[in-house]
Structure 1
Amino acid sequence: MSMYNIALSGAMANQAAMNITAQNTANMNTDGYTRKVVNQATVVYGSQAGGVTVESIRRVSDQAAVERLRTASQEMQYAQAYMSGMQNIENLLGMEGLNLNSGFSELFAAIDEATISPESLVYRTQIIASADNLASRFNGIMSQLETQLNSLVQQQETTVSTINSQLENIADLNAQIRDASGQGKDISGYQDALDLQLAELSKSIGVNVLQNQDGTVELSTKSGQPLVVGNNVATIEKNLSAGGQFNTDLQLTFNGQTSTLQSPKGGELGAFDKLKDEQYLPLMDDINAIAVGFADAMNEILATGTDLNGDSPGKALFSYDPSNPAGSLSVTGISAEELALSIDGNAGDGSIATAMSELASQPIRIDGRDINVFDAYSEILGTIGIATSQAQANYETATISINEAQTARDSVSAVSSNEEAANLMMYMNAYEANMKVIATANQMFDTVLNSF
């Protein structure tokens, strides 16, 4: 092989390397870009080495680091969604106008005043007004919880729609990678796009990723249900047959077969399930139980008394729908005169009012156990507070994990301006040296020609 051809191959190989260096530098701030390097190899003719060729253009990627970042991204999104839900609940229960303990205190203060002068219509009216305020607090809490839970259901629907689009995108990228690979084209750009899509998908649902030799992937859920295999792509949708106001049951259809989307779901979907099943629904049950226990306790005491008209047993102060106690709790149409605050109806007898007042410090039957109403609600606040603090701590841990995972990935795959600058100088010097060899070869050739 002639000196001219050897130098020409060197110039072309180093020009290709400079092009890759330029591409790396241009994409230094591109999200998800993986730096590339040129692998050069000696051209061998017979038993002699001569010249150089670009053997391959390689993505500098550590699949373990990419997988770690994807897992961290899933855990981060799960922690963020769960923490956000817990903060919404905590903020709701702490709202001044909805705090049940404040409502209980106001009602018991009104009852205490009535024990001094139980025949006073002013004090009796104040009891009814305070009871109505307490009922409104129960109604407000339940309404807000239902609103938040409905919002959670809507977020799930949006997330599911996004997941279905992402699965289609991944299947399309698989097809493009197969086509490009079969034609011997560079697939690195497609692989970067695939890594980004997988990272985004993992935020919504946990996935297992199987890397194929041709650069394509196969996906399944954490429980092993197929999502993308070959040309087949799964579709996730709500299971409408499950019914219920807050239905979040999902089903997966793959290759014509439909089955329940199984747990663990991971990502945002997993957070939505846990918030609904372990926080919202139990909390609503607890609030309903307090409403039922308190309303029944008050009504039972009043039923033993006599009102100002001399009628007994006394009428109920509260009423509710057993299917939605806290949401429907209200004051009956009882009048001030009809409040049975005494045993015998005599003016000045406030025995029943005193018994009602004692509920402030005595336990009542709530959801199968005896507990004071203030303690019952404070217990809820404490439980939610602890869960919110833990969610915050988990989010902070997930933040550290994803930062570490990003650093580990970038240490291998990210573009370094210093490294690329050094590479550019090296390839440029090599290119110029080869061009000088070519110039020298031309000069020698001209000298030979001119000698004749």
Structure 2
Amino acid sequence: MSMLNNALSGLNAANIALTVSGQNVANADVEGYSRQQAQFKTSNVYLGGVEVASVDRIVDAFLNDDIWRTNSDLSYFQNKQTYLGFIEQVVGSDSLNLNNSITSLTSALNAAATTPDSNAYRQQFLSAAEGLMRDFGQINGALEGQLNKLNTQMSNVALEVTSLTKQIADVNASIGKAVANNQPSAELKDNRERLINQLSKHIGVSTVERSNGLVDISTLSGAPLVVGTKGSSIEVNGTTVSSNFLGQKFKLNEHVGGQFGGLISADTQVIQPTLASLNSLVADLADDINMALQSGFDLNNNAGIALFEYNATNPLGSIGINPNIGTDELAFKGSNTAGPGDNSNIANVISAMSGKGERFTLLVGDLAITSKQNQTSIATASSLNTNAVAARDSLSGVNLDEEAASLMHFQQMYSANARVISTADQMFNTLLQMF
């Protein structure tokens, strides 16, 4: 009987292994599917036999972590570049180059210096100043548009992350029940890994798997995203992002990684510094020109007045031409006793603009350098992510050639055990006929 029992156990084991290999082949093109493998062991009965000890998912937690980490890095740099590239293009465009507008102002002043009481030259200077205001307005509008776009995108990502954490928490609950009841959980775990893969593109993740099969997930800074069967929600207020878990709030910064990190970085490292630089440049330019004009006198021998006015809390977004100034009020004269041909204060106005163009050029250059460095980071992150996916697929992905060989092997195993059963049957029948 031991021969028959051994053969029967081998037949059953081979059948299970064939089913597993067949399932692998059927799911070869399913994204995120981890191939499975039947593990054999000797039966705990006299004279042995074989049985399937388990059907295991072939996975490596390190390889999955590598994919999630590189997913996060790639998404971080790509989303930052979306805003960085746009702002670099806007600020560095020929049509909005402040150097050109400042040059126009200087040219108008140089022309006025030849005939300082000429209404045409004075109007040319005012027109050049109005052109500068238009440039400021367009740049400010573009930056405000990016801030609005950033806020909308962050809000959408927050909804997506909140949905994913809830889905992962629900899958955790299903896995916990399956493990507790000794039921298959491979498909559930594959689904959970797919969800974590999606989550890692939005935010950097750190995972810890419990002995009961549940996975806890936190941000790279330690803020909880999923703990057991509970998921956190993400809140966005302007460009401030926080994770809310069971009433506790955790503020997230650019170091959180992923899409969120890239978007936060676009705000804190690109948009806000650019606004600060431009606001400083605008305020200094306006103040210096105003001061120079206020030190001179106009055509009517009155003390000069400011050309520009602005709100100190937002110079770029509020600067404009003083409505009280016209061609006669431009203080090009150096004293109130000088004749109408005096141009001695024009040199002070030109000097007031000195260095402002260089500051703008430096800003454009810094943006270009930062953009180039970020693009290099995108290329590096993309290569690392491709390698990480390839490494995971080489272990966990389905190789049809290997599965074909396994199918042949287990078919032979099945046939051999079936022949043993047939032989044993013939032997018993022969023995029975002898009596």
Aligned counterparts of 1:11 and 1:418: Cα–Cα separation in 2: 24
**Offset of 1:444 from its aligned partner?**
5.0
Q: 2:178 aligns with which of 180, 188, 205?
A: 180
| Residue matched to 1:213 | 211
- What is the 5 A alignment of 1:416-431? 416-431=399-414
Give, in angstroms, the shift of residue 165 of structure 1. 0.8
1:324 to 290, 305, 314: 314
* Distance across 1 between alignment mates of 2:117 and 2:291: 20
| Contact 1:251 1:258 survives alignment (8 Å) | no
RMSD of equivalent CA atoms: 2.2
Equivalence for 1:170: 168
Partner of 1:313: 303
- Whether the aligned pair in 2 keeps the contact of 1:320 and 1:328 (CA below 8 Å) is yes
Work out the CA distance in 2 between the residues paired with 1:288 and 1:406.
45
In the TM superposition, what are the counterparts of 1:254-333 in structure 2 within 5 Å?
Answer: 254-255=245-246, 257-263=247-253, 264-308=255-299, 310-333=300-323
* % identity of equivalent residues: 33
Tell me the number of residue pairs that the alignment of Structure 1 and Structure 2 aligns: 431
Match of 1:91 in 2: 89
TM-superposed deviation, 1:173: 0.6
The one-letter code of the counterpart of 1:401 is: L
Moved more, 270-279 or 181-190: 270-279
Counterpart of 2:206, as a letter, is N
**How far off is 1:268 after superposition?**
2.0
Q: Name 1:349's counterpart in structure 2.
A: 342
Partner of 1:249: 240
Q: Matched residues in 1 for 2:268 and 2:326: separation? A: 41
Structure 2 unpaired stretches of 5+: none
Alignment correspondent of 1:102: 100
Instruction: Please report how far the alpha carbon of residue 451 of structure 1 lies from its aligned counterpart in structure 2 after TM superposition.
Output: 7.2
Q: Is the 8 A contact 1:228 1:234 kept in 2?
A: yes
Distance between the aligned counterparts of 1:252 and 1:316, measured in 2? Answer: 49
Which runs of structure 2 are paired with 1:35-434 in the superposition (5 Å)?
Answer: 35-46=35-46, 48-50=47-49, 52-238=50-236, 247-255=238-246, 257-263=247-253, 264-308=255-299, 310-333=300-323, 334-343=325-334, 344=336, 346-360=339-353, 362=354, 372-434=355-417
Asked if the contact 1:136–1:330 (Cα under 8 Å) also holds between the matched residues in 2, the reply is no
Give the distance between the partners of 2:241 and 2:382, measured in 1 at CA. 29
SS at match of 2:19: helix
In structure 1, the residue corresponding to 2:43 is in which secondary structure?
strand
TM-score (norm 1): 0.88
Q: Output the CA distance in 2 between the equivalents of 1:30 and 1:222.
A: 29
| Structure 1: 5+ residue stretches without partners | 240-246, 363-371
Rounded to whole Å, the distance in 1 between the matches of 2:242 and 2:64 is 29
1: distance between equivalents of 2:422 and 2:342? 120
CA distance in 2, matches of 1:21, 1:356: 83
Alpha-carbon distance in 2 for matches of 1:35, 1:446: 43
Instruction: Return the letter of the residue paired with 2:92.
Output: G
Question: Partners of 1:354 and 1:233 in 2: how far apart?
Answer: 67
How many angstroms apart in 2 are the aligned matches of 1:258 and 1:60?
37
Distance 1:259 1:21 in 2: 47
Normalised TM-score (structure 2): 0.92
Counterpart Cα distance in 2 of 1:306 and 1:414: 82
- The one-letter amino acid paired with 1:378 is T
Partner of 2:7: 7
1:23 corresponding residue in structure 2: 23
Query: Deviation of residue 354 (structure 1)?
Result: 3.3
Q: Distance in 1 between matches of 2:342 and 2:374?
A: 53
Q: What SS class does the counterpart of residue 150 from structure 1 fall into? A: helix
SS of the residue corresponding to residue 345 of structure 2 reads helix
8 Å contact from structure 2 (residues 68, 204) kept in 1: no
Q: 1:374: how far off?
A: 1.0
Q: Secondary structure of the equivalent of 1:388?
A: helix
2: distance between equivalents of 1:421 and 1:261? 52
1:368 counterpart residue number: none
Work out the CA distance in 1 between the residues paired with 2:96 and 2:218.
44
CA distance in 1, matches of 2:375, 2:93: 20
Deviation (angstroms), 1:201: 1.5
